[in-house]
Structure 1
Amino acid sequence: MPPPTAPHAAPALQHQPTSQPVQYPKEILWSLADAKLDEDVASSEGNMSRLSMGRVLRHPNGDSVSTGEYHAIKATAHAIAYNLNQLPIPHGHSHLGGTRTLRFYKSNMVADWNAAVARAESEQELLALCPAHWKAEHVLQAALQATHESNKTKTNGSAISKCSCSNSNATSGSSSSKRPRSNSITNHMKAKLHIQSMMATTKFTFTPTAKNLPTLLPTLVDSLYANLLHIISSEHPDVTDAVDLLHTLNANQAFMVGEPSLIFSVFLERVESATPVLTEEADENDSPEMWGHTQFAGGSMTCTSVLDTWASIGSSSFVYRLIAAVLTTDNYLGEVCRLLWAAWKSAGGPVAKGKEKAVSHLNMNQPQDTESASADSALRTALEGWYVPELKKWITEHKLTTHSTKKAVLVDAICSGTDTQKPSLEVALTGIEKRGKKTPSPT
């Protein structure tokens, strides 16, 4: 049995100073008061604190974010809001079916709220350019409100959807052929997934609330990009479509961002809410050994019929959730990722440059050139010592492409470039030495 995969720690909440740091221009709108006074920021007439965040959010140089960048930020916020709303309400804090708002979370689930804010600022670093986390909180508050409004308007549709799920599950048991899993749900599977029982310090994960829940649920896998890439590259390096897809989605977060179709939403809900049954009386398709067959190939909603176009899928945040769920049944991982990858390319989605090189380094089943791998590792280590503005300047000057401001993604973009687009190791180390920082030791 391979050693357990080390889980990624949840991002810690980083606090910014109340006064605007001198390196930022006034156009960055550091404080909430600055945003309210800015003539380019339109507020709601009924509520002056309800700002137009698409105009509030700025790059470190003061430039406004593009429409695509703002859509990517909103998609991140909606994914985090969805995860928040799945968390159980603590004992003694009965919510009586009310709306889960920012005020509710800050009053009753403050640790979970802080974890959500930290994750938002970690994934979208422009949200962290303010004191007291007000930018991240405004975006998350809007996502929570949008979710509430959507649930109200889709109440009747949800009832129909649940009936559809029930019918498809009922028919699949008799009409679908049996496909065994490649692995049963064992301690090995639990070790490689991002499960709360292994993460005492991680607050932003799902906690089983019902009695006698099975040991593994689709929603127990953290859908964070870095975690999915870590699991797949470590445990499923042969599924190259999954690695290619994750790299490309992360580098092109603003491509065709929208809401998924109703059938995709129902399909995703069926996958995420399903549980393997651990009793001898259970239908064979719902047993751990057959887990995933009903969810991905049962009834009229199959992965082939649902994952047909990118417009139906919606955005990368929904892809991350689906991949996180399918990781609990690795027999379907390759097929689902193949369909997602095909839908992306059919929609004209850009393919990250250098992804083949990235995949070859991740694929442990393929031979590697030791000297080349060592040089790439040393370059990556040196680049991690650069500041984000320096990385972004290099990317711009050498015509590389990335829509993320996260340092790790910027380093990936540079390392995935051609030889003429990457700095030499000497240049990378010199950039650190000029600032008087400790030089990383090449490994």
Structure 2
Amino acid sequence: MYPQTRSEYRSSSPAYSSSASTDFPQLSLFSSHQHRNSSTPFSTSSNLPADWEHLDIPDLLRNANVRNLYQKYQGANEKVAACFEDKERLLWQVNELQTELHILRNELMMLKFNPMQNTATAVTQTAPGMASPLFLQPSSSRPAPRSLALPADMPKEVLWTFADAQACPGIVTDTNKCRPKMAQCIRRQNGEIVTANEYSAIQACGKRLVATFLDPLGLPANRAQYGVKKTRTYYAQNFRDIWRTVLEKIEEEEPLVALCANKWKAEYLLASLLRHQGAISGSAASTPGPTIPNTTKNAGGETRKRANVNPEDNKGGTSKRQRSDATSERTRNESDGRKATKSPKFRYTAQEGTNGENAQAEQIPPPTTRSLPVEVQFIHVDQKILSLKDFPQIGDAQKLLNAMNESPNFQDGTPSKNVIDLITRMETADPNASTVDEDNTNASWGHLLYTGGNLIWRNVLTDWEAIGNCATVARLLAAALRTCKIARHLCFERRVDAPSFLSDIYLEQIVEKIWSLWTDASKSVAPPTGQASNAAPLNGHSVVTNSDAEGLAAIDRDRVNDMLKQRNLTKEKLKSWTDLHQIQVVSKKRDAVKAELVTAILGSGICFTVSGFQELLDLVAKKTDSLNSKKGTAIG
């Protein structure tokens, strides 16, 4: 008969120690070597089967100690399940309180905006996850829209319509005509542009209105808009009335912003501020999805991190693929919001003037502001050509630097005043200046340096005569490289995630332009007529004669390529020439073949210079003379 109680088990087991715990038997109790196929799993004797660990659970539960331990386990499991349900219920109550907090904040905001507003006219939406109620002005109290026609007492320079701004030079760029420079759009009644201090005051007014009326807004009624970046389009679609109210408010406080039709200046000014604010806060600027607890028990439910969706990050306007990706991200964020309550490392913040729905990970540091001054005086780029070679190759940069190193005195002249002014502006530019707006800093730093005012780089770098000499090119490239380094340093210090830099694009375009001017100037160089073969050396090499060069003005890629492929110019000669000029040859084999050497020589650009072309002609001539001497010896 099996023991049913603890006392019976203790009395029938002499191996059980009286000093042991009353809940767990000692290990000596299970030291029996009895065979598993015993007639009974447990017996009243002092020994148990040696392979007791292979017994089934019903057989193990016949033991009072095992049964007691199993009952404790079930009780603890039930307590854990009850605690989990309490947690889910408390989180749901937190969400309801946060929704109510949004409602109260919006009521307070609108009462501050219009103290005489009758609260009975409010449009109330109290369902969880729906938009917060908005206390709006009656439509009869709104000012009548201004006419599209320019008033008779104002000049056209006021930029009455957005089309006038697009037609004005310097207001918009060719790449993005829908993003005007608002610092130049805000003007007085006589068409004069406001000063930098006045524009800063207007920006401060707009930021205050955004923080007062737009930032505290709750979730939109459209659930598809959860996680969408807060931009002009977001507020115009989801909170149309409050958006129009803010536009009227900024025109009321800043009359210069109202000098336009259809409030386009106020709208684009607020759009610029929202874009700036979104770049600062990153994911914090996006509307958070509601946290809906899932009461269904999920054994392996992991909490997935909610991705940041920024549909406007791609400023270049690429394909539809990215828009569809952003949509799928928003859909995934909406579904992930139901699991967000599972994470124990999230804290809920409900500070005044911020979104109470924000749930941020504690390990994420707060982002810095984009207007934070950054020290850039220590950034320096050496103007020496050999130092410039250390930077990564961009397009024709390596060809240009090699050619400049071979011919440092190539067509020496005096650079034009515009070129010097352009370089000086790039060298002395300060990204912390008050005149630099948010559209021309960080990843966009350098745009005004290359295109501002009358010094547009394409109009300045017209020909080699305007550049003057190689020293000017080296100074220009050093200033451009410094601009690239400053842009990266600004993004690093201000914690701006920049996938690309505008200064890199300008650097590549400038290098291509200078290399094109160099090759055009090289084609225009011709040796003196009637030059003797023993004339004075040029740059340490023999001067090209008329019989050899047949007019150096005709140097081009095809001619050099044909000369390098001549049979009497062996790969050993070409290998020694590449070693002399430190030209890197990429080869699939241990020893480079002649075609690979020719490709490397053409890619270096040295063969297109006067001295480089002369050296190759000397190699061809020496090899030809050697072959002729060998043939003469054989005939003799």
Into which bin does the TM-score normalised by the smaller protein fall? 0.3 to 0.5
**TM-score normalised by the chain length of structure 1:** 0.33
The higher-RCO structure (CA 8 Å, 6+ apart) is: 1
**TM-score normalised by the chain length of structure 2:** 0.23
CA radius of gyration, larger in:
2
